[in-house]
Chain A
Amino acid sequence: MKECTRAQRRCQLGHWPSVAPYNSLKVRILSSRGRVAIAGACVVPLATAALGRAQGFPSEPLVFGAGRVTVGGDVSATTSCAETPGTGSCGTDTGFFNYSDYEYSTLRMLRVDINAVVKANRYMAVLAEVRSENGGSPRPYGLYVRLRPWTERAFDIQAGRIPPTFGAFARRTYANDNLLIGYPLAYQYLTSLRPDAVPASADELLQMRGRGWLSNFSLGNLAKDRGVPIMSAFRWDTGVQAHAGWSWTDVAGAITTGSLANPLVADDNNGKQVAGRMTLHPQAGLLVGLSGARGRFLTQAASRSAGSTDPNRDSVQSAIGADAEYSRDYYLIRFEAIRSTWTLPTIDAPLRATAAWLEGRYKIHPRLYAAGRLDHVGFTSITGVVRAGSWDAPVTRVELGGGFLIVRNLQLKASFQRNTRPAGRVTHLKIGAVQAVFWF
Chain B
Amino acid sequence: MTRPIVFPAVLAALVLAGAAPPHAARNGSVRGRVELRRVAPTPEPRPSVADLGARLTRDGSDRLRSVVYLETAPRGAFDQSDPAHSIMDQRNETFVPHVLAITTGTTVDFPNSDRIYHNVFSLSRTKSFDLGRYAAGRSKSIRFDRPGIVRVFCDIHSHMSAFILVFNHPFFAMTDAEGRYRIENIPPGSYNVVAWNEGLASEPRVAVIPDGGSAELDFLLR
Complex Cα spacing A129 to B51, Å: 12
Residues of A within 8 A of B48 (CB): 117, 127
Check A163 against B52 for contact (C-beta < 8 Å): yes
Within 8 A of A (CB), among B149-167: 153, 158-159, 161
Complex Cα spacing A71 to B136, Å: 31
Check A115 against B49 for contact (C-beta < 8 Å): yes
Which of B53, B115, B159 contacts A154 (CB under 8 A)? B53
Check B50 against A171 for contact (C-beta < 8 Å): yes
Shortest distance between the CB of B49 and any CB in chain A (Å): 4
Complex Cα spacing A163 to B47, Å: 13
The answer to the question of A53 belonging to the interface, with a C-beta cut-off of 8 Å to chain B, is: no
Closest to B155 in A: A363
Check B130 against A252 for contact (C-beta < 8 Å): no
Complex Cα spacing A158 to B130, Å: 37
The answer to the question of B121 belonging to the interface, with a C-beta cut-off of 8 Å to chain A, is: yes
**A247 with B115, Cβ < 8 A, contacts A115-B47, A366-B122 known:** yes
**A241 with B50, Cβ < 8 A, contacts A285-B133, A329-B134 known:** no
Which of A128, A154, A156, A283 contacts B49 (CB under 8 A)? A128
Residues of B within 8 A of A70 (CB): 44-47
Residues of B within 8 A of A125 (CB): 54
Check A61 against B45 for contact (C-beta < 8 Å): yes
Complex Cα spacing A367 to B124, Å: 11
The answer to the question of A267 belonging to the interface, with a C-beta cut-off of 8 Å to chain B, is: no
Complex Cα spacing A262 to B46, Å: 28
Check B44 against A163 for contact (C-beta < 8 Å): no
The answer to the question of A63 belonging to the interface, with a C-beta cut-off of 8 Å to chain B, is: yes
Residues of B within 8 A of A365 (CB): 130
Residues of B within 8 A of A423 (CB): none
Which of A142, A366, A408 contacts B50 (CB under 8 A)? A142
Check A241 against B123 for contact (C-beta < 8 Å): no
Check B123 against A367 for contact (C-beta < 8 Å): yes
Shortest distance between the CB of B216 and any CB in chain A (Å): 32
What does DSSP make chain B's interface, helix, strand, loop or mixed?
Answer: loop
The answer to the question of B129 belonging to the interface, with a C-beta cut-off of 8 Å to chain A, is: yes
Complex Cα spacing A116 to B161, Å: 21
Check B46 against A156 for contact (C-beta < 8 Å): no
Shortest distance between the CB of A325 and any CB in chain B (Å): 11
Closest to B133 in A: A327
Check B46 against A61 for contact (C-beta < 8 Å): yes
Shortest distance between the CB of A287 and any CB in chain B (Å): 11
Which of A243, A284, A329 contacts B116 (CB under 8 A)? A284
Residues of A within 8 A of B121 (CB): 366
Shortest distance between the CB of A108 and any CB in chain B (Å): 24
The answer to the question of B43 belonging to the interface, with a C-beta cut-off of 8 Å to chain A, is: yes
**A250 with B52, Cβ < 8 A, contacts A70-B47, A115-B47 known:** yes
The answer to the question of A348 belonging to the interface, with a C-beta cut-off of 8 Å to chain B, is: no
Check B130 against A61 for contact (C-beta < 8 Å): no
Residues of B within 8 A of A129 (CB): 49-50
Which of B51, B123, B161 contacts A407 (CB under 8 A)? B123
Within 8 A of A (CB), among B43-67: 43-54, 56-57
Residues of A within 8 A of B190 (CB): none
Shortest distance between the CB of A285 and any CB in chain B (Å): 5
Check A67 against B53 for contact (C-beta < 8 Å): no
Residues of B within 8 A of A155 (CB): 53
Shortest distance between the CB of A176 and any CB in chain B (Å): 9
Give chain B's interface residues, CB within 8 Å of chain A.
Answer: 41, 43-54, 56-57, 115-117, 121-123, 128-130, 132-136, 153, 158-159, 161
The 4 A-B residue pairs with the shortest CB-CB distance, nearest first, are: A156-B53, A284-B135, A329-B132, A366-B130
6 A–B contacts from the bound complex (CB under 8 Å): A67-B44, A72-B46, A129-B50, A241-B52, A285-B117, A363-B130
